[in-house]
Structure 1
Amino acid sequence: MDKFHLCPKFESAFELLGKRWTGLIIRTLLSGQKRFSDIAEAIPNMSARMLTERFKELESEGIVVRKVYPEIPVRIEYELTEKGRELEPVMNEIQKWAEKWN
């Protein structure tokens, strides 16, 4: 049987966005920049190690930016880039679908 192939760009996007916790991180950041602890609190079942890993992936994909403020103590916040903010309609549609079917 032939394997069905999707558009490589779609496959790549879905592979990233389909990873566990990624959608919740993006959804949390849609309301504005947050500190690591704010996101960890919003998604309590996710380990700090996993959050760090997902942030690194999202940063490397240009979806999240890490901002370091040279204060004492140092303040670090995470924010969606324009690319990340453009996921808002997608996230809203997933939310509608989930509310209807779950």
Structure 2
Amino acid sequence: MSSASEPLQEQPSICEVLQIMGAKWGFLVITELFKGPKRFKQLQRDVAVVKTQSLTDTLRLLEHNGIVRREVFPTVPVTVEYSLTDKGADFHNVVAAMDSWATKWGKRGGDVG
């Protein structure tokens, strides 16, 4: 068990996962990109609850963390496509584990009584 005074660099690597999951819309964007690469407007339509600036900020955070790849195509106008990196695609295991946990222990499952 780690102490509260333990330096950040010595914290478990789970902190990186929690930082990504803690991003307000990160989980939703990652889940959408599991379906395949998308242009910004297409992604924006698919996650309609997310405002434009929030989506931009989320994509930047995920790109910074190596989860999302941003590819620019030299077209007129410029086309930008977002996709998951290998690291992002492997995140599917995390999502599947969370889904399994939610099924077992969510509001309707695993009630103790």
Class of the TM-score when normalised by the shorter of the 2 chains: 0.7 to 0.9
1:21 and 2:25 are equivalent in the alignment: yes
Counterpart in the other structure of 2:76: 72
1:58 and 2:62 are equivalent in the alignment: yes
State the number of aligned residues: 101
Aligned pair in 2 of structure 1 residues 96, 38: CA closer, same or farther (>3 Å)?
A: farther
Q: CA RMSD in A?
A: 2.1
Deviation at 1:43, TM superposition (A): 1.4
1:1-102 pair list within 5 angstroms: 3=4, 7-99=11-103, 101-102=106-107
Q: Which runs of 5+ in 1 are unaligned?
A: none
Q: Which runs of 5+ in 2 are unaligned?
A: 108-113
The TM-score normalised by the length of structure 1 is 0.84
Deviation at 1:12, TM superposition (A): 2.5
The TM-score normalised by the length of structure 2 is 0.76
Question: More relative contact order in 1 or in 2 (CA 8 Å, sep 6+)?
Answer: 1
For the residues of structure 2 that align with 1:74 and 1:98, how far apart are their CA atoms?
Answer: 41
